[in-house]
Amino acid sequence: MLAVALAPASAWAVDSWEIQVYDGSANAPGVPGVELHVNTTPSGQKTAPPPELPPHAQTHFTLEPSFGVLPWWEIGAYLQTTLRGDGAFDYAGSKLRSKFVMPPEWDPHWRLGVNFEISRLPESYDRNRWGTEMRPIIGWEDDRWIVMLNPILDTALAGPDSEEGPSFEPAFMAKVKIAGTVAVGVEYYAGFGPIAHFEGWEEQEHYLYEAADLLSIERVELNAAIGEGLTPASNALVIKVILGYAWDKLAPAPQTAASLVVQRRP
């Protein structure tokens, strides 16, 4: 019994820096964007598998620059930092991503795509350090509803969990749009553990967030939510905010009288 009590907890966990359901959108070609993710855990797990730090009282700041390459291809990165409960401020790793989506003109309602990530994090925040994520994007959107599913596969490339294979970490949201101003609803995030052998219910992480998105300001993203953990292995309370901005499409260079003359010559 003593050996079981002292054994480290499972290292499989829901990402607590990027708490977001991808909606299948992408920056236009040549257009940059940026997001700031701020997540805090006022009531969280007070133990973690060594050498990781417990998430209780941590606040995470993630800067996410992005750039549209093609109408269906966007690249980006995550630069992660942590304000710990003891007041120390840490570098918490970085990620690179490449997202492929179905252009909106292909269908007025369906949103399909996939996002690939590679990450390298300090041992104090991920004992495996190197990892990858594949995030399919499946959703439906109209003037009234937005429903999105990301059945995520997360894989450790090194460390003690590298032999376990991909873990299943789905994310889901369902929201209703109100007068074109806000969208309100729920977001759900879970960590089931390795696909080869899911963890027991008490070792899994499950979260339900009450969330709202601002819709009325063009090119501005604002998402705020309060999440409650549903299992003993989950953090009891998480609060998150995402603030983003995407620049407009680049306007074509104005034509001068001289350029018009050149174009008209045979």
List all residues 6 or more positions away from 29 whose beta carbon is below 8 Å from its beta carbon.
Answer: 68, 69, 70, 71
What class, spelled out in words, does domain 2-264 have in CATH? Answer: mainly beta
List all residues 6 or more positions away from 265 whose beta carbon is below 8 Å from its beta carbon.
Answer: none
List all residues 6 or more positions away from 35 whose beta carbon is below 8 Å from its beta carbon.
Answer: 62, 63, 64, 66, 221, 242, 243, 244, 245
Of 7, 118, 126, nearest in space to 55 by CA: 126
pLDDT at 263: 43
- What percent of the chain has pLDDT above 90? 86
pLDDT at 266: 43
pLDDT at 105: 86
pLDDT surpasses 50 at 45: yes
- The arithmetic mean of pLDDT across residues 98-115, rounded, is 94
- The H or E element spanning position 5 is helix 2-6
250: which DSSP letter? P
User: CA–CA separation, 73 vs 135, rounded Å?
Assistant: 14
Look up the pTM and report it: 0.89
pLDDT surpasses 80 at 35: yes
Q: In this structure, what are the phi and psi dihedrals at residue 2, rounded to the nearest 5 degrees?
A: -65, -40
pLDDT at 248: 78
Mean pLDDT of the residues in the chain: 90
pLDDT at 249: 65
Least confident segment among 167-176, 191-200, 242-251: 242-251
Beta-bridged to residue 132, according to DSSP, are 118, 155
pLDDT at 104: 80
Amino acid at 150: N
Least confident segment among 46-50, 103-107, 108-112, 250-254: 250-254
- The arithmetic mean of pLDDT across residues 47-75, rounded, is 96
User: Which tokens go with 230?
Assistant: 């549903």
**Confidence band for 254, pLDDT divided at 50, 70 and 90:** low
User: CA–CA separation, 131 vs 18, rounded Å?
Assistant: 15
> What is the dihedral sign for C-alpha 252, 258, 264, 266?
negative
User: Is 30 in contact with 241 (CB distance < 8 Å)?
Assistant: no
**Confidence band for 180, pLDDT divided at 50, 70 and 90:** very high
Beta-bridged to residue 98, according to DSSP, are 75, 116
Q: What is the DSSP string of 29-60?
A: TT-EEEEEEEEEEEE--S--STTSPP-TT-EE
Q: Of residues 266 and 130, which shows the higher confidence score? A: 130
245: which DSSP letter? E
Q: Which residue has the tokens 């998150």?
A: 240
pLDDT surpasses 50 at 261: no
pLDDT surpasses 70 at 31: yes
- The arithmetic mean of pLDDT across residues 112-119, rounded, is 98
**Confidence band for 132, pLDDT divided at 50, 70 and 90:** very high
User: Is 235 in contact with 229 (CB distance < 8 Å)?
Assistant: yes
pLDDT at 65: 98
HSE (side-chain half, CA atoms, 13 Å) at 68: 19
